[in-house]
Structure 1
Amino acid sequence: MKNRCHYKLKMKTNKKIEKRQKLEKDPDENEKTEKDLEDIIDVDIDVFHPVPEDIHDIAGLLKRFIDVHPFHRMDMADLLIAQGKEGLGIGSVVSTNEGEDVVGIISCIDLDFHRKHNGVADCLDFFSQLISKYKSGASDKLDLQTSSSSQSTNESTWKDIIKQGCRTGLFLYERLVNIPQELTPHLYRSLISEIARSTSEKNKKSPSYLEKPQMRLDTILVCSRIGRLITDMPEFGDSEDEEGDPRAGKGKSRKEKDGKKKRKKIRKAKNDFNEETSIFFHPEDEIFLKYKIDSFIFPIEDDPFLKAGEGVELRGLLYAISFDNFKKAADELFDFFSVDRAELPKKPDE
Structure 2
Amino acid sequence: MAKRKEIDKNREEEPESQESSSEESSSDDDTNMLDVEFEWFDPQPEHDFHGLKTLLRQLFDVDAQSFDLSALTDLILAQPLLGSTVKVDGNKTDPYAFLTVINLHEHQDKEVIEKMIVYIRAQAKRNSALSKLDDLVEKSANARIGLVLTERLVNIPSEVVPPMYKMLLEEISWAIEEKEPYNFTHYLILSKTYQEVASALNEEDSPKSKKQKKAGKKGTSEVFYFHPEDEVLQRHASCFGSYEYLVEGAKSDSKRTFQELGIKPEGHMILIEANKFEAAVKGLQEYFSQG
User: Under a length normalisation based on structure 2, what TM-score does the superposition of the two structures give?
Assistant: 0.79
Alignment gaps of 5+ in structure 2? 15-26
**Given that residues 167 and 219 in structure 1 are in contact (C-alpha distance below 8 angstroms), is that contact kept between their aligned partners in structure 2?**
yes
Alignment gaps of 5+ in structure 1? 17-30, 136-151, 204-211, 237-254, 341-350
Match of 1:144 in 2: none
**Distance verdict in 2 for CA 1:193–1:335, change over 3 Å:** same
| Partners of 2:51 and 2:194 in 1: CA distance | 25
| Partners of 1:260 and 1:159 in 2: CA distance | 43
Match of 1:308 in 2: 254
**Distance verdict in 2 for CA 1:267–1:333, change over 3 Å:** closer
Do residues 90 (structure 1) and 57 (structure 2) align? no
Match of 2:279 in 1: 328
**Given that residues 15 and 178 in structure 1 are in contact (C-alpha distance below 8 angstroms), is that contact kept between their aligned partners in structure 2?**
no
Match of 2:182 in 1: 215
**Given that residues 117 and 138 in structure 2 are in contact (C-alpha distance below 8 angstroms), is that contact kept between their aligned partners in structure 1?**
no
Structure with the greater relative contact order (CA < 8 A, sep ≥ 6): 1 or 2? 1
Shift of 1:258: 4.7
| Partners of 1:259 and 1:302 in 2: CA distance | 27
**Given that residues 47 and 94 in structure 1 are in contact (C-alpha distance below 8 angstroms), is that contact kept between their aligned partners in structure 2?**
yes
Match of 1:106 in 2: 99
Match of 1:177 in 2: 154
Shift of 1:289: 0.8
What one-letter code is carried by the residue in structure 2 that aligns with 1:66?
F
**Given that residues 199 and 253 in structure 2 are in contact (C-alpha distance below 8 angstroms), is that contact kept between their aligned partners in structure 1?**
no
Do residues 284 (structure 1) and 259 (structure 2) align? no
Shift of 1:134: 2.5
SS of structure 1 residue aligned to 2:87: strand
Once the two structures are superposed, the pairs formed by residues 251-266 of structure 1 within 5 Å of their partners are: 255=202, 257-258=204-205, 265=213
Match of 2:134 in 1: 159
List per-residue Cα deviations over 1:18-59 (Å, max 9, x = no partner). xxxxxxxxxxxxx74x34xx5431112111001112101100
Bigger Rg over Cα: 1
Please give the root-mean-square deviation of Cα atoms over the aligned residues, in Å: 3.0
Shift of 1:5: 3.4
* Matched positions, count: 265
List per-residue Cα deviations over 1:264-290 (Å, max 9, x = no partner). 9587434235xxx43221111111111
User: Under a length normalisation based on structure 1, what TM-score does the superposition of the two structures give?
Assistant: 0.67
Identify which range, 6-15 or 39-48, moves more after superposition: 6-15
SS of structure 2 residue aligned to 1:65: helix
SS of structure 2 residue aligned to 1:46: strand
**Given that residues 66 and 126 in structure 1 are in contact (C-alpha distance below 8 angstroms), is that contact kept between their aligned partners in structure 2?**
no
Shift of 1:309: 4.4
| Partners of 1:286 and 1:5 in 2: CA distance | 30
Once the two structures are superposed, the pairs formed by residues 125-204 of structure 1 within 5 Å of their partners are: 125-135=118-128, 152=129, 155=131, 157-164=132-139, 165=141, 166-200=143-177, 203=178
List per-residue Cα deviations over 1:197-244 (Å, max 9, x = no partner). 1111xx2xxxxxxxx5231111111111112345xx4798xxxxxxxx
